[in-house]
Amino acid sequence: MKNLETSFMGIKLDNPVILGACNMSSNLDQLKKAEQQGVGAIVYKTLFEEQVQLENLQLDERLSQYEHIHAEMTSTHPDVDFSDIEYHLTRLRKTKESLSVPVFASLNAVNKESWISYAKMIEQTGVDGIELNLYQIPTNFEIEGRSVEYAQAEIVEEVKRNVSIPVSVKLSSDYTNLLNFIKTLDETKVDAFVLFNAFFQPDIDIKKEKHVKAFNLTQKGDYKETLRFTGMLYSNIKADICSSRGVFTGEDAVKLILSGATAVQVVSAVYKHGVERIGAIKNEISEWMQQKGYTSLDDFRGKLANRNLDKNENSLVYKRAQYVDLMLTSDTIFGKQPVY
């Protein structure tokens, strides 16, 4: 097998395939199977601040059950479960101790103080780094986009200042000027960016007339938006780029590395095809490299990034002009047959 080593956030990975944060990534048995398949690294299931807040509300409710203690009560101790955050941190520590591959934590908070506090606690588990999951849905009509970006940049800067382990930022593509925002975050000396988040989207069951919950799994080909931004960001920022969303095959991974990715994250591919998909992706990357005569990822990383195409007519591929060109010549797709 070819040399698939890569350096992500200053940490050596045996290969660029990372299992992203998901419910599966908190199952130690599954993670050991992923390790056996040769996964490069693992991002443990996200710790959400709302999860802790809900726990605190439930704790208050349970404590109120015992405000009026009397002699006939069978117990004077409230029915309180083990703290969710302590449970999460304990399992995170055990996961790190049980695996030989790098383990990253994932954090999504709301309040600035919570981001910092939880990041410090996570660091104490011994993980190799923290992924800040900046998943925020606009719900206030009065807040300007710029103020949201400023607040998030301040959070990232404060977390970086308060922990010594590497920090990555996982983003959505829903920013007015994503390139400018990433450039701003890059100035905080963040170690990597993960592009992009696959958001949960609400749905409605029209028969029952109620909202339904479902996994928002990506589909084959969903990596294309990630490829575009990876290609534009490569060599224009100091941080590493981890491409995510819709990575199902070694071919997908190769395309993203050609555009400049240091690593790729897989989640939906593993849910749909099992952890064996990790080994398959690795093998497919290696086979392609063998065919092309490449001996390492550095031989072709960023070869087709925007910066390396500036003197080539294909440099338009990452820009709006490519869209215009496609629209003007779209009849060729149908063998010059009219499109109605």
Angle between helices 84-98 and 49-64 (to 10 degrees): 130
Q: Hey, what are 309's tokens?
A: 């195409």
End-to-end CA distance of the chain: 50
Query: Is 208 contained in some domain?
Result: yes
Instruction: Please name the helix (run of DSSP H) or strand (run of DSSP E) that holds residue 211, with its range, or none.
Output: strand 210-212
DSSP string across 126-191? T-SEEEEE-------TT--HHHHHHHHHHHHHHHHHH--S-EEEEE-S-STTHHHHHHHHHTTT--
Least confident segment among 89-103, 212-226, 289-303, 311-325: 311-325
Phi-psi region at 282: left, alpha or beta (left = phi > 0; alpha = psi -120 to 50): alpha
Query: Is 319 contained in some domain?
Result: no
Count of structural domains, the chain = 1
Query: pLDDT > 90: what percent of the chain?
Result: 65
Query: Is 44 contained in some domain?
Result: yes
Residue-wise pLDDT for 3-50, tens only, equals: 999 999 999 999 999 999 998 989 999 999 999 999 999 999 999 875
Residue-wise pLDDT for 234-276, tens only, equals: 999 999 999 999 999 999 999 999 999 999 999 999 999 999 9
Query: What range does the domain containing 133 cover?
Result: 6-302
Q: How far apart are CA 196 and CA 194, in angstroms?
A: 6
Q: How far apart are CA 24 and CA 31, in angstroms?
A: 8
Other Cβ atoms within 10 Å of 171 Cβ, number:
23
pLDDT of the residue at 49: 77
Residue-wise pLDDT for 124-174, tens only, equals: 999 999 999 997 777 788 888 889 899 999 999 999 999 999 999 999 998
Residues 3, 296 contacting (CB under 8 angstroms) = yes
Residue-wise pLDDT for 136-150, tens only, equals: 777 788 888 889 899
Query: Is 335 contained in some domain?
Result: no
Q: pLDDT category, 329, cuts 50, 70, 90?
A: low
Query: Is 312 contained in some domain?
Result: no
Provide mean pLDDT across the span 48-59: 53
- Residue 223: is its pLDDT beyond 70? yes
Query: Is 123 contained in some domain?
Result: yes
Residue-wise pLDDT for 185-202, tens only, equals: 999 999 999 999 877 778
Least confident segment among 56-60, 96-100, 214-218: 56-60
- Residue 203: is its pLDDT beyond 80? yes
Query: Residue 154: what are its φ and ψ, rounded to 5°?
Result: -65, -40
Query: Is 108 contained in some domain?
Result: yes
Instruction: Please name the helix (run of DSSP H) or strand (run of DSSP E) that holds residue 53, with its range, or none.
Output: helix 49-64
pLDDT of the residue at 332: 53
pLDDT of the residue at 198: 77
CATH of the domain at 184: 3.20.20.70
Query: Is 248 contained in some domain?
Result: yes
